Amino acid sequence: MAARAAALKAEDHPEEFMSGARLILKALEDQGVEVVFGYPGGAVLPIYDELFKQNRIRHILVRHEQAAVHAAEGYARSTGKVGCVLVTSGPGATNAVTGLTDALMDSTPIVCLTGQVPTHLIGNDAFQEADTIGITRPCTKHNYLVRDAEQLARVIHEAFHVARTGRPGPVVVDIPKDVSMGQGRYAPPLQSASAHKTYRPRTAPDPRAIREAVALMARAKRPVFYTGGGVINSGARAVAALRELLALTGFPITSTLMGLGAYPADQDQWLGMVGMHGTFEANLAMHGCDLMIAVGARFDDRVTGNLALFSPGSRKIHIDIDPSSINKNVVVDVPVVADCGEALEALVAAWKAETAPRPGLAAWWRQVAEWRGRDCLHYEQKGPVIKPQHAIQRLFEIAKDRDPFICTEVGQHQMWAAQFCGFTRANRWITSGGLGTMGFGLPAAIGAQIAHPDALVIDIAGEASALMNIQELSTAVQHKAAVKLFIINNQYMGMVRQWQEMLHGARYAHSYTEALPDFVKLAEAFGCAGLRVSDPARLDGTIREMLEIPGPVVCEVAVDPAENCFPMIPSGKAHNEMILSAQDAAAKRITGEGLALV
Amino acid sequence: MGETRMAKFEEAPHSIYEGMVPVARLKDGHVYRHVISLLVDNEAGVLARVSGMISGRGYNIESLTVAEIDRDRQLSRINIATSGTRQVIEQVKAQLGRLVPVHEVRDLTDEGPCVARELALVKVACVGESRAEALKCCEIFRASVVDSTPQSFVFEVIGDTAKVDAFIDLMRPLGLVEVSRTGIAAIARGAAGFLKDSN
């Protein structure tokens, strides 16, 4: 009855009908959207016209649609909000696909509005037509084609709800031009999370699972926490509860690449990152533990190494909001399907109430101390060439008091950044983990900078990755995003070269980049400041200069081209088969099935 | 691994809370055949979402059927026959449950006894003694003749997959020329229903 009454009322009030484009903007406003990253084109002209007429939502014009999504990811990951993207049909949508896939793999909440050809032309191979729904189905959490302006507001609200709740992810809303030009009525946002008829992610843990988990924790002699990006996605409550639980239990903790910053790296319980380029102590603790408590992590192959040999003697507790993450790669004893924050808070309460006598952890910590004694990240900065690790370590040391946001591209520099930047806060580390997208960092840094105009935002890059979306310097200049692009230039696709060295007889097939640009001139051509340093004695001064320049800066650091990233768990090997140095690498050749793994 | 086993209903295969599957069960390396039923919103593209997810993740599907079952509520039912290890079957169900338009995922094989039927139209071109033989088989299998010419029959046979397979095998030497099968429709035995709480 209420709906019917509202409909009758609308007929009396034709002003309640609005254009599709206006409905879109109103829905975005009601979702709290402040910034849209986008690129115009024919199919979205009505939406751009509506953007032009208002001042509440800021539009950041990128130079490529892939960068629009990465920028929205940087915005989302640095704020915890949903990132919003607007691109046109056909090439606009297909260019966004890499960004959408990246956001799906790293569970980043994105709503991407794509233009579409008018409904009567769909399927006719019209100009700039692509089957966006078909193409993006496997690289989004969900997608929608809106065929009627009357449905626009409801669908956009639902898209935001799906993107931000449960395991977050990208959602595409495909809007034909006749729909954005049509007329419809507005619908307010969903009133509650349970309002959706099918999509109702479970957030509260089952008390029985919590009881079993705490019983295992209370008996553990060699426990380790293994946390991931899910803790950060869950938000401040999860981060606070994690820290409290760590303080209460005194257990050691390691984290995936995506989870860095949830637990402070300057604490004694912190073991460093786990996985292929994780620390000796973190990987051996994972291998030797008797209880693993996985929180918001998904047992990715970069974390587990050889699955058959993964942590053979442990019971496993796995907290994840996505039931499909549980028992996917590793069979676990106690699954907890829940939001990390709610589950961790429940564990804190249950741990406080648990009175069973607990075995001491002194022996386990003595073992950890012994592993730490290996000093696995050791390198030597000597001679006239800058070591890449040294450049990154100095950068973080000099910048850390300014609470910087650190973005990266993908490769050796990314792993060194993960190893040497000691994050103490969540949402400060923005990197492409699951998909490993070169070209992610610069646009992501711009997105983070737009969200935090006064913060220090640095993209640690390799010269190869930096070139993949270098056009975004133009975006940074236009929108006064003072990002610092810190390029570790070793003239190689360093990680590719490292693998070729270890797996393919040092035949460096196409991993050396000839004809690199002059990055200082390139920066200047875009209207940025450009700096270059190759002398170790001038490194600190150049970093300080970069940080002091008010606008966007490109700082190129010429580094040792032969340096490799260690420790490394070679493909097909277990956590206790790490390579710790170049000498070690020669002794442990990768053979057999390991060669076929990525 | 080895051959595919027909999974039988077992007493309480699952533990008491969500996601909990006994470790020993998940580590059972044998391949089992399971029938999974989904209740989905009957919206454009829902079948593509289900089939795309299955092919994209490399799951093995023997049969997949879809049809609307509640017009007022716009609900369709998808029946999937799949085979895999216990761990893979659990993954298939979890991945299906993640799709936004999916109301409910039921493992009919696990939940226990269920009926699965399919219909096949089987065309046999034959004359002389073969015609009598074909009609005799038709009677044994309680199939029916839905088309007849002096040179051919079209039989309609309904049953579980094994029965339909057996009928088709019998028709092969008698002049089998064409087969069209529906894939399975499946439903749990007993009084409990799918539709009662999914609104």
Chain B contact present for A335, CB below 8 A: yes
Catalytic member of A177, A316, A387, A484: A177
Total domains present in chain A: 3
Least confident of A86-95, A140-149, A443-452, A496-505: A496-505
Same domain, A148 and A34: yes
Considering the domain boundaries, does residue A288 fall inside one? yes
Distance from C-alpha of A496 to C-alpha of A263, rounded to nearest angstrom: 31
- Best B78, B90, B98 member to test A by mutation, with max A CBs in 10 Å, is B98
Task: Report pLDDT digits (tens) over B51-93.
Answer: 999 999 999 999 999 999 999 999 999 999 999 999 999 999 9
Provide the 10 A C-beta neighbour count for residue A507: 9
Contact flag A198-B103 (C-beta cutoff 8 Å)? yes
Among residues A142, A166, A195, the one where a domain terminates is: A195
Considering the domain boundaries, does residue A499 fall inside one? yes
Whether residue A85 contacts residue A132, with contact meaning beta carbons closer than 8 Å, is answered with no
Distance from A318 to chain B by nearest Cα, in Å?
10
Considering the domain boundaries, does residue A355 fall inside one? yes
Distance from C-alpha of A196 to C-alpha of A69, rounded to nearest angstrom: 26
A482 token code pair: 């003072």
Considering the domain boundaries, does residue A526 fall inside one? yes
Same domain, A161 and A293: no
Partner residue facing A328 (CB), from B20, B23, B91: B91
Among residues A322, A338, A372, the one where a domain terminates is: A372
Same domain, A365 and A324: yes
Strand blocks (E) in A119-207: 142-145, 170-176, 183-185
Active site residue A498: no
Contact flag B18-A322 (C-beta cutoff 8 Å)? no
Report the CATH number at residue A313.
Answer: 3.40.50.1220
| A326 → chain B, closest CA residue | B19
Q: For residue B13, what pLDDT band results from cuts at 50, 70 and 90?
A: very low
Q: Which residues on chain B are in Cβ contact (under 8 Å) with A197?
A: 41, 103, 199
A79 token code pair: 């704020």
Same domain, A153 and A283: no
Distance from C-alpha of A115 to C-alpha of A43, rounded to nearest angstrom: 5
Place of tokens 């005194």: A250
Which of A37, A34, A28, A104 has its CA nearest to residue A65?
A37
Residue A4: what pLDDT? 52
Contact flag B44-A145 (C-beta cutoff 8 Å)? yes
Which of B77, B67, B127 has its CA nearest to residue B102?
B77
Whether residue A416 contacts residue A389, with contact meaning beta carbons closer than 8 Å, is answered with yes
Distance from C-alpha of A547 to C-alpha of A406, rounded to nearest angstrom: 13
Considering the domain boundaries, does residue A233 fall inside one? yes
Residues above pLDDT 90, as percent of chain A = 91
| A203 → chain B, closest CA residue | B18
Contact flag B100-A162 (C-beta cutoff 8 Å)? yes
Q: For residue A552, what pLDDT band results from cuts at 50, 70 and 90?
A: very high
Report the CATH number at residue A481.
Answer: 3.40.50.970
- Structural domains in chain B? 4-112 (3.30.70.260), 115-185 (3.30.70.1150)
What are the phi and psi torsion angles at A228 (to 5°)?
-135, -165
Which of A126, A111, A112, A120 has its CA nearest to residue A42?
A126
Partner residue facing A327 (CB), from B17, B21, B99: B21
Tell me the average pLDDT across A127-142: 98
Residue B196: what pLDDT? 61
Q: How far is CA A397 from CA A82, A384, A402, A422, A542, in A?
A: 31, 21, 10, 9, 14
Residue B6: what pLDDT? 62
Q: Residue A481 in 3-state DSSP?
A: coil
Distance from A64 to chain B by nearest Cα, in Å?
28
Which of B43, B74, B81 has its CA nearest to residue B59?
B81
Phi-psi region of A506 (alpha: psi -120 to 50; beta: other; left: phi over 0): left
Contact flag B18-A206 (C-beta cutoff 8 Å)? yes
Task: Report pLDDT digits (tens) over A325-344.
Answer: 999 999 999 999 999 999 99
Return the sign of the alpha-carbon dihedral for residues A311, A428, A431, A338.
positive
Helix pair angle (A20-30, A45-52), 10° resolution: 60
Geometric angle at alpha carbon A152, from A150 and A158, rounded to 5°: 125
Contact flag B16-A326 (C-beta cutoff 8 Å)? no
Distance from C-alpha of A134 to C-alpha of A243, rounded to nearest angstrom: 42
Residue A1: what pLDDT? 43
By residue count, chain B amounts to 199
Residues above pLDDT 70, as percent of chain A = 97
Contact flag A137-B17 (C-beta cutoff 8 Å)? no
Distance from B88 to chain A by nearest Cα, in Å?
8
Residue A191: what pLDDT? 75
Tell me the average pLDDT across A241-270: 98
Distance from C-alpha of A287 to C-alpha of A269, rounded to nearest angstrom: 17
Which of A38, A63, A48 has its CA nearest to residue A475?
A63
Radius of gyration, CA atoms only, chain A = 25
Q: State yes or no: pLDDT of A108 exceeds 90.
A: yes
Contact flag A137-B45 (C-beta cutoff 8 Å)? yes
Contact flag B95-A133 (C-beta cutoff 8 Å)? no
Same domain, A292 and A190: no
Catalytic member of A34, A128, A471, A588: A128
Active site residue A578: no
Contact flag A323-B199 (C-beta cutoff 8 Å)? no
- Best A145, A162, A197, A333 member to test B by mutation, with max B CBs in 10 Å, is A197
Tell me the average pLDDT across A364-371: 98
Distance from C-alpha of B123 to C-alpha of B148, rounded to nearest angstrom: 10
Q: Residue B150 in 3-state DSSP?
A: coil
Q: State yes or no: pLDDT of A20 exceeds 60.
A: yes
For residue A538, the number of C-alpha atoms closer than 13 Å in the C-beta half-sphere is 15
Q: For residue B12, what pLDDT band results from cuts at 50, 70 and 90?
A: very low
Tell me the average pLDDT across A273-295: 98
Chain B contact present for A199, CB below 8 A: yes
Contact flag B27-A331 (C-beta cutoff 8 Å)? yes
Contact flag A138-B17 (C-beta cutoff 8 Å)? no
Active site residue A495: yes
Radius of gyration, CA atoms only, chain B = 20
Q: How far is CA A230 from CA A258, A276, A339, A544, B142, in A?
A: 8, 20, 8, 34, 57
Residue A11: what pLDDT? 56
Same domain, A237 and A172: no
Distance from A292 to chain B by nearest Cα, in Å?
15
Checking A355-363 for CB contacts under 8 A at 24+ apart, the result is A356/A215, A356/A218, A356/A219, A358/A218, A358/A219, A359/A219, A359/A220, A359/A221, A361/A221, A361/A223, A361/A250, A361/A251, A363/A221
Torsion of CA A265, A267, A273, A279, to 10 degrees: 120
| B19 → chain A, closest CA residue | A335
Q: Which residues on chain B are in Cβ contact (under 8 Å) with A333?
A: 23
DSSP 8-state class, residue B196:
T
Domain that holds residue A324: 207-372
Task: Report pLDDT digits (tens) over A521-542.
Answer: 999 999 999 999 999 999 999 9
Which of A565, A579, A570 has its CA nearest to residue A418?
A565
Contact flag B41-A197 (C-beta cutoff 8 Å)? yes
Catalytic member of A18, A26, A65, A419: A65
Chain B contact present for A324, CB below 8 A: yes
Q: State yes or no: pLDDT of A323 exceeds 60.
A: yes
Q: Which residues on chain B are in Cβ contact (under 8 Å) with A162?
A: 100
| B93 → chain A, closest CA residue | A324
Residue A190: what pLDDT? 78
Distance from C-alpha of A158 to C-alpha of A142, rounded to nearest angstrom: 10
Question: For residue A541, with 0-12 CB atoms within 10 Å meaning exposed, 13-18 middle and 19 or more buried, which class applies?
Answer: exposed
Same domain, A88 and A139: yes
| A318 → chain B, closest CA residue | B19
Same domain, A324 and A345: yes
Partner residue facing A333 (CB), from B23, B41, B48: B23
Residue B1: what pLDDT? 40
The whole-chain average pLDDT of chain A stands at 95
Distance from B22 to chain A by nearest Cα, in Å?
7
Residue B16: what pLDDT? 65
Residue B3: what pLDDT? 65
Tell me the average pLDDT across A492-512: 94
Residue A132: what pLDDT? 98
Partner residue facing A335 (CB), from B19, B48, B91: B19
Between B19 and A311, where is the model more confident?
A311
Number of A:B CB contacts under 8 A?
67
Task: Report pLDDT digits (tens) over A138-157.
Answer: 999 999 999 999 999 999 99
Provide the 10 A C-beta neighbour count for residue A535: 12
Same domain, A32 and A171: yes
A126 token code pair: 């019209």
Considering the domain boundaries, does residue A10 fall inside one? no
Q: Which residues on chain B are in Cβ contact (under 8 Å) with A206?
A: 17-18
Q: Residue A113 in 3-state DSSP?
A: strand
Task: Report pLDDT digits (tens) over A156-172.
Answer: 999 999 999 999 999 99
Among residues A145, A173, A195, the one where a domain terminates is: A195
Q: For residue B198, what pLDDT band results from cuts at 50, 70 and 90?
A: very low
Residue B86: what pLDDT? 94
Tell me the average pLDDT across A40-54: 98
Return the sign of the alpha-carbon dihedral for residues B37, B80, A200, A347.
positive
Partner residue facing B18 (CB), from A197, A323, A324: A323
Considering the domain boundaries, does residue A1 fall inside one? no
Torsion of CA A445, A449, A451, A454, to 10 degrees: 150
Active site residue A66: no
Same domain, A114 and A83: yes
Tell me the average pLDDT across A567-586: 89
Contact flag A337-B23 (C-beta cutoff 8 Å)? no
Distance from A162 to chain B by nearest Cα, in Å?
8
Same domain, A26 and A101: yes
- Best B57, B100, B107 member to test A by mutation, with max A CBs in 10 Å, is B100
Q: Which residues on chain A are in Cβ contact (under 8 Å) with B75?
A: none
Contact flag A323-B19 (C-beta cutoff 8 Å)? yes
Same domain, A189 and A70: yes
Torsion of CA A89, A92, A93, A99, to 10 degrees: -160
Considering the domain boundaries, does residue A520 fall inside one? yes
Contact flag A162-B87 (C-beta cutoff 8 Å)? no
Residue B15: what pLDDT? 53
Active site residue A568: no
